[in-house]
Amino acid sequence: MIKIINTTNGTEEVQKEIEALLNRSQLEFGEVNRSVEDIITKVRDEKDKAIIEFTEKFDGVKLDSIEVTEQEIEDAYNSCDPELIAALEEAAENVREYHQKQLSNSWIQNDKKGIMLGQIYNPVEKVGIYVPGGTAPYPSTVLMNAVPAKVAGVSEIIMVTPPSKDGSVNKNILAAAKIAGVDRIFKAGGAQGIAALAFGTESVPKVYKIVGPGNIYVAIAKRIVYGYVDIDMIAGPSEILVLADETANPEYVAADMLSQAEHDTLASSILVTTSEELAYKVKEELAVQTASLSRKDIIEKSLADFGAIIIAKDMDEAISYTNEIAPEHLELIVKSPFEMISSIKNAGAIFLGAYSPEPLGDYFAGPNHTLPTSSTAKFYSPLGVDDFVKKSSLIFYDRERLEEKKDQIIKIAEAEGLTAHANSIKVRFK
């Protein structure tokens, strides 16, 4: 059962509760770390052969070839529910449109005679996307990772995903990959999939950046290859924080909290409210709605372990808890949600008002559903076009301008003891 914390009894308990939340998902190293290192080393050295061995061991299928064929993709797409295909296509279009607004232009600063400075934008050339398999494969994950890369202009998008026991890849995943414009797909899951992308094999091209969610093996593998390639982030379990006042409908609030709680027993669903009445009504609603949901057991554990209803003494206090928690998903179900935007400093995505529930963002509206978890919204951003674009600085001085400033440059170079740096300026004006 979810706990209610009333801050009118002092804020100490709230602080403890928040700390417990923030400590939820520290990665454990040691054993797992070493076995992931072993997998990565073997794939780096033995390439496709190692992929095939690990796939037999972990996924229970011996593959002849690890690449998914054009025919497999066509067959999957054609055998999907046409209504699902239509919904995914509309969602992909929304994701495309939203991410196109994120594109920035290269620029040049030319306001000083004889000087031009700027920044040139280029897409990362090759990107890898990890898509989990297992019992509930998520086509939305494919869209949210591949479409922004496509919009950024990435020329090669490589997807890896674990095959089922019969050697196939889930048809919805393959259909989503076709819709999103993924270039090539390989059957390689877990740490072996990440290693294949990071180092390349005979079949799998080496990429420069790896994105996408995964289990603990995938997370640790991404951490290990980070630096050789770039990665998106280390994602933790999902979270929602609903910030609500007395105008909120408790039924909606409860339903939205449950939509996160069902993800994972480690997921966290929090209500912060200024209304004691709402707090108790939401608690009741949570129990009522949970009873009829298919993932009831996960939900009950998640709410008991990482759920909380916090009653704040006023909206300022409520906002301050919110910024401290820095939730992945923040719903503002209050009278004037837009007015609160400027008070929110740390959140992955902000859902405004009673008709913008979190699943709207997960699947459809357009903004990315890959969001910073576990308080990392204090320093990370949602996945976006910027993740697939890199910049080069541009510097031009003409002879006159360099001559004008040569003494200052030489001064700093010499203060740092770097005489060859100073010489590179001097040699031009001997």
Q: Residues 222 to 281: which contact its own copies by CB under 8 A? A: 223, 226-227, 229-230, 234, 251-252, 255-256, 258-259, 261-263
Find the binding residues for its own copies in span 31-60 (CB under 8 A).
none
Q: Which is nearer to its own copies, 314 or 416 (CB)?
A: 416
Shorter beta-carbon distance to its own copies: residue 52 or 258: 258
CA nearest to 91, candidates 180, 30, 151, 22: 180
- φ, ψ (nearest 5 deg) of residue 422: -60, -40
Residues between 60 and 119 with contacts to its own copies, criterion CB under 8 A: 81, 83-84, 86-88, 90-91, 98, 101-102, 104, 107, 109, 115-117, 119
Cα dihedral: 146, 150, 154, 155 (round 10): 100
Query: Would you say 4 or 402 has its CB closer to its own copies?
Result: 402
Strands (DSSP E) contained in 279-348 are 308-311, 329-333
Q: Taking the mean position of all CA atoms in its chain, how far away is CA 22?
A: 18
Using CB under 8 A, which of the segments 1-9, 56-64, 131-139, 186-194 binds its own copies?
A: 131-139
Q: 99 an active-site residue?
A: no
369 is catalytic: no
Structure tokens at 425: 């300026």
Choice between 16 and 57, CB closer to its own copies: 16
Q: Is 320 in the site for its own copies (CB under 8 A)?
A: no
Q: Catalytic pick from 17, 239, 300, 328?
A: 328
Site for its own copies in 139-158 (CB under 8 A): 139-140
- For helices 296-306 and 276-290, the axis angle rounded to 10 degrees is 150
Rounded Cα distance, 210 and 207, in Å: 7
Size of residue set near its own copies by CB under 8 A: 124
C-alpha distance from residue 314 to each of 245, 274, 276, 377 (Å): 10, 6, 11, 24
Asked if residues 325 and 270 have their Cβ atoms less than 8 Å apart, the reply is: yes
Please indicate if the annotation marks 100 as binding a ligand: no
- Please list every residue from 159 through 188 that binds its own copies, using CB under 8 A: 172
Catalytic residues: 328-329
Q: Which residue numbers belong to the known binding site for substrate?
A: 238, 260, 263, 329, 362, 416, 421
